[in-house]
Structure 1
Amino acid sequence: MDALLVADGRFGDSRAIGERNAARFVLGLRLMAQKETRHPEVLHRLSRLSREELLPLLGDPVLRNAFEDDMAKLENGRPDALGLAALAARLPLGTDGLGPCERMATPHVRPWPEYGPAWLWTEMNPADRVPGELSVRLRRLYDGSIEGGPAADPVIPSPDMCRRLSRGADLLTRLLPQVGPSVLRHVSVVGFTRGESADGPLQSLSGGDPLPSAILMAPERLTDPWTAAETLLHEGVHLKLFDALRSGALLRAADLSVPIPWRQTPWRLVRVLVALHFYVHMLVFQEAARHADDTLRAEFGDPPADEVVDEVSPDTEAARDGTYGTSLERARYLAGYVLALPEDHLTADGRRFLHWLLDALNLVHEDSGITPPAGVAGVVPVRPPAATGQAAVVRRSARAMARPMPEQGELLVVNTDTAAMHWLNARSWLIYSLCDGRDAHAVAAEYGRRSGAAGEAAHDHVAACMSELTAAGLLE
């Protein structure tokens, strides 16, 4: 089970996910430098940093938020409102492996250095070479990440809290030696806070766009190592999926409203998939906890005897019937709902994602009652070629920039007009590279020669790929 959850190259392999995010960051910086009129040289300089120098910037909550905000502005046709370059021009971007916000943390604490460069939100004191604006922006992101605003300032962790957090991470990585390190790799900062949510006192949350790469948790989550480990898994899984979804959409109807029997308010369909992803991981954690050996139990104590999930909301179907009180019941409901949707509601990546989760779910519980649909996950039927225009001369658009990822077998291409990112697999990459001014018949012939595809199959592959690349504005 542990191995299966990290095996998928798109959604499970944290190193591959990290490489895609780094490539997207670099290409996004290059695109912004084209649009930026005040500080383009800063963005060019950042885009040329080594991977080791780049990752602390990508994981910095303020810089990542500014980057994602600028990408959204470009996608919405607002290149005149970019803010990342002006911010980066005022920040020290050294080569010491620290992000700008991390430099303010006093003391500087890394809770699991062997698994990733996460740091703790301690006292945030702007140093002489870090402008106070950075602290103000970080606090603004903190305030905006908690529903209804925070009830208090961040809780500064004591040495004992730091030790307990590291102990929870140690338990997680020993209980799930593949999933544990994988999710921790997506955490940049851990902070402690107290607040209120619609469902009661805040237990924990993971930052998406509001507070990127960050986990906030109530100090009480450190009471015992099992709760700490579960919290790190819970929120780390969300951060991992957030990063994975930067390189592909799962849904064509993400805003579809879905009734949730244990909640009064319906969820958007995208939240259904996020929750299913979490519950499957939690079921694997629970199974591993049940089978914890004597060494782990002697060191960390016995795992909780009963599953602890957030309570169902009052006046709901679940509250009336006493149902949906376990992760398995909720996973069954969410998976069943998605499986019943029309096929066109999910993208090819969405179908692959669903198959992967259902494989894991059925490995944990053979009697889960969920049967994946027949067919190969993630495969889209080849569309028939157009009746005309197959011999047209085709070439790559000048309104595109690309970044190759040979280790992943992918090419990342951005349409500079729309700021839309497109991830080409090995087949699409090859076809795209052959569109250099030759006609479509010549492209198909050369593609067939290089790929070994038979004549008709090569023709179908090229016709379908060209149709998609043309629609994306990457071919002319």
Structure 2
Amino acid sequence: MSLAAPRHSSRDKAARADALLVADGRFGDSGAIAERNEARFVLGLQLLAHKDTRHPEVLRQLSLLGREQLLPLLGDPVLRNAFEDDVVKLENGHSGDLGLGGLAARLPLDPHGLGPCERMATPHVRPWPEHGPAWLWTGMSPADRVSQELAARLRRLYDGSIEGGPAADPVIPTPEMCRRLTRGADLLTRLLPQVGPSVLRHVSVVGFTRGESADGPLQSLSGGDPLPSAILMAPERLADPWTAAETLLHEGVHLKLFDALRSGALLRDADLSVPIPWRQTPWRLVRVLVALHFYVHMLVFQEAARHADDTLRTEFGDPPAGEVVDEVSPDTEAARDGTYGSSLERARYLAGYVLALPGDRLTADGRRFLHWLLDALHLVHEDSGVTPPAGVAGVAPAQPPALPGGAVVRRSACALARPLPERGELLLVNTDTAAMHWLNARSWLIYSLCDGRDVGSVRSEYGRRAGADSEAAGTQVDACLAELTAAGLLE
């Protein structure tokens, strides 16, 4: 991390960027992201109850739980992994080997609000209870046969989350390690009082490990679907509070983005191959956006650290003077030219590449995501120099063809819905395809009008309710109807 020694009397740029990174309702607001994830979990449970012929009642009862009982299940790495695995199976047309219902049927709910895996952790430690319910992977003490199976499944997820397998068992944290982790979290939340608590909220479990990666000893990782909502880190990351804080930000930011992306896609071609000058192997386009998201947050952290006040420096020591980023790979453009050795250089390249993509590569959310990150980057680096590379010009996405005005539209019967009225959003799942779709207030209104009337009537009624002129109403209705039809949500 680039934490040079010079300080400045003004911390305004970092403070403004800190606030901006949590202000966006889709990608920054942890409360909104969590609410969407809860809605997705509930609707997914209802879908599984619809599809799992062996355990429909168990799954239906889980979907009816109150928030205090539901959240520990959503944050449990084994249950969440089973849930995501079942959803993927349904999306791929496989409904005969679903696993969550059978697992949940044998696990009693904890009256104290602990998830099944957390209940086995001995001693039980929550490193930042004021910012979220994360727990530490200490010793696992299963009390019965079902708990033993759960512990075995957790260990398999741990083994599978580390490329090439772990070099050792999970490291059981000492009291001093617990203290240092909490101290790192304290520094993070005081340095970035908006972003810090926001990212910690998305962490369910923190474990320690030693392993090897393609780039050398494992420093840290965040679990996606293989080990959901979890951070694993080498104990050496606790050597000083600044490194611990940076690690929590790094992996917590990834977990936050994983959660945010559960409710919408950024790309129409996530697998597009992108050349990376500091790596020999190209990245998928989705990884480019994930990396850009991380580098922007890290640059804001660096700016805040450069201007850390005397109180923080007295309590936690001076931040490191130099930046520590992954080494560039040998025999690459970066290795030959001595370039792309900083977070800013890498962020410039990644952002410039995405800016140069044809407009139809990004969804509307994707364009919003990119410009949100660029706004934050420009706050802390006004001369960031982000420009699209030469030779590729973006184009506006093509508009879908409009349905005839006399065509009758009706909501499909193969849909389950979960409204979020305070957010002005409606979550739908197509029970035939298991695909979930998020509607904003505009799309929700149009969808509600698809009750057997013709397209012309939908346009006129939408225009009346939304206060839009006929041309704007027609454009908005036609685009929405095309998407709903393609998703199988209209007959």
Name the TM-score class by shorter chain: over 0.9
Q: Match of 1:20?
A: 36
Is the 8 Å Cα contact of residues 189 and 215 (structure 1) preserved in structure 2? yes
Structure 1, 331-340 or 421-430: larger mean CA deviation? 331-340
Does 2:427 match 1:415?
no
Alignment of 1:283-432 (within 5 A): 283-370=299-386, 383=399, 386=402, 389-432=404-447
- CA distance in structure 1 between the aligned counterparts of 2:137 and 2:401, rounded to whole angstroms: 56
Q: SS of the counterpart of 1:2?
A: helix
- CA distance in structure 2 between the aligned counterparts of 1:302 and 1:462, rounded to whole angstroms: 56
- CA distance in structure 1 between the aligned counterparts of 2:275 and 2:472, rounded to whole angstroms: 43
- CA distance in structure 2 between the aligned counterparts of 1:228 and 1:32, rounded to whole angstroms: 39
- CA distance in structure 1 between the aligned counterparts of 2:480 and 2:398, rounded to whole angstroms: 9
Is the 8 Å Cα contact of residues 349 and 386 (structure 2) preserved in structure 1? no
Is the 8 Å Cα contact of residues 206 and 213 (structure 1) preserved in structure 2? yes
How far did residue 350 of structure 1 move?
Answer: 0.9
Q: Match of 1:377?
A: none
After superposition, give the CA deviation of every residue in 1:119-152 in whole Å (9 maximum; x if it has no partner).
Answer: 0000011124852110000000000000100000
Does 2:190 match 1:174?
yes
After superposition, give the CA deviation of every residue in 1:160-187 in whole Å (9 maximum; x if it has no partner).
Answer: 0000000000000000000000000000
Unaligned runs of 5+ in 1: 374-379
Amino acid at match of 2:473: A
Alignment of 1:188-337 (within 5 A): 188-337=204-353
Structure 1, 97-106 or 457-466: larger mean CA deviation? 457-466
Q: Match of 1:457?
A: 472
Q: SS of the counterpart of 2:331?
A: coil
Q: SS of the counterpart of 1:81?
A: coil
Structure 1, 293-302 or 314-323: larger mean CA deviation? 314-323
Is the 8 Å Cα contact of residues 276 and 334 (structure 1) preserved in structure 2? yes
- CA distance in structure 2 between the aligned counterparts of 1:262 and 1:392, rounded to whole angstroms: 53
Amino acid at match of 2:325: V
Is the 8 Å Cα contact of residues 70 and 83 (structure 1) preserved in structure 2? yes
Q: Match of 2:88?
A: 72
After superposition, give the CA deviation of every residue in 1:80-105 in whole Å (9 maximum; x if it has no partner).
Answer: 12111001111112332111000000
Structure 1, 430-439 or 30-39: larger mean CA deviation? 430-439
- The root-mean-square deviation of aligned C-alpha atoms, in Å, is 1.5
Q: SS of the counterpart of 1:10?
A: coil
Amino acid at match of 1:210: P
Q: Match of 1:122?
A: 138
How far did residue 408 of structure 1 move?
Answer: 1.1
Is the 8 Å Cα contact of residues 27 and 414 (structure 1) preserved in structure 2? yes
Q: SS of the counterpart of 1:432?
A: helix
Q: Match of 2:127?
A: 111
- CA distance in structure 2 between the aligned counterparts of 1:82 and 1:180, rounded to whole angstroms: 37
Alignment of 1:92-111 (within 5 A): 92-111=108-127
Structure 1, 319-328 or 110-119: larger mean CA deviation? 319-328
- Assess, with a 3 A threshold, how the Cα gap between structure 1 residues 338 and 385 changes in structure 2: closer, same or farther: closer
Give 1:142's match in structure 2, choosing from 123, 142, 158.
158
Structure 1, 363-372 or 111-120: larger mean CA deviation? 363-372
Is the 8 Å Cα contact of residues 154 and 191 (structure 1) preserved in structure 2? yes
Is the 8 Å Cα contact of residues 385 and 460 (structure 1) preserved in structure 2? no
Amino acid at match of 1:410: E
Amino acid at match of 2:464: R
Unaligned runs of 5+ in 2: 1-16, 390-395
How far did residue 228 of structure 1 move?
Answer: 0.1
After superposition, give the CA deviation of every residue in 1:187-228 in whole Å (9 maximum; x if it has no partner).
Answer: 000000000000000000000011000000000000000000
Amino acid at match of 1:104: M
- CA distance in structure 2 between the aligned counterparts of 1:263 and 1:440, rounded to whole angstroms: 51
Q: SS of the counterpart of 1:79?
A: coil
Structure 1, 443-452 or 154-163: larger mean CA deviation? 443-452
- CA distance in structure 2 between the aligned counterparts of 1:461 and 1:367, rounded to whole angstroms: 37
Q: SS of the counterpart of 2:116?
A: coil
Aligned residues: 469
Q: SS of the counterpart of 1:403?
A: strand
- CA distance in structure 1 between the aligned counterparts of 2:400 and 2:88, rounded to whole angstroms: 34
- CA distance in structure 1 between the aligned counterparts of 2:378 and 2:155, rounded to whole angstroms: 43
Is the 8 Å Cα contact of residues 355 and 372 (structure 1) preserved in structure 2? no
- CA distance in structure 2 between the aligned counterparts of 1:425 and 1:164, rounded to whole angstroms: 43
Give 1:443's match in structure 2, choosing from 445, 458, 461.
458
Amino acid at match of 1:326: S
How far did residue 345 of structure 1 move?
Answer: 1.4
- Assess, with a 3 A threshold, how the Cα gap between structure 1 residues 293 and 372 changes in structure 2: closer, same or farther: farther
How far did residue 454 of structure 1 move?
Answer: 1.5
Does 2:106 match 1:55?
no
Q: Match of 2:4?
A: none
Structure of greater relative contact order (alpha carbons < 8 Å, 6+ residues apart): 2
How far did residue 384 of structure 1 move?
Answer: 6.9
- CA distance in structure 1 between the aligned counterparts of 2:448 and 2:355, rounded to whole angstroms: 37
Amino acid at match of 2:472: A
After superposition, give the CA deviation of every residue in 1:378-413 in whole Å (9 maximum; x if it has no partner).
Answer: xx8794763x63122221100011100011110001
- CA distance in structure 2 between the aligned counterparts of 1:335 and 1:34, rounded to whole angstroms: 42
How far did residue 364 of structure 1 move?
Answer: 1.0
- CA distance in structure 1 between the aligned counterparts of 2:114 and 2:314, rounded to whole angstroms: 37
Structure 1, 229-238 or 126-135: larger mean CA deviation? 126-135
Q: SS of the counterpart of 1:114?
A: coil
Structure 1, 452-461 or 334-343: larger mean CA deviation? 452-461
After superposition, give the CA deviation of every residue in 1:297-329 in whole Å (9 maximum; x if it has no partner).
Answer: 000000001111121122222222221111001
- CA distance in structure 2 between the aligned counterparts of 1:462 and 1:164, rounded to whole angstroms: 55
Q: Match of 2:13?
A: none
- Assess, with a 3 A threshold, how the Cα gap between structure 1 residues 77 and 207 changes in structure 2: closer, same or farther: same
- Assess, with a 3 A threshold, how the Cα gap between structure 1 residues 238 and 248 changes in structure 2: closer, same or farther: same
Amino acid at match of 1:414: V
| Percent identical | 85
Is the 8 Å Cα contact of residues 180 and 233 (structure 1) preserved in structure 2? yes
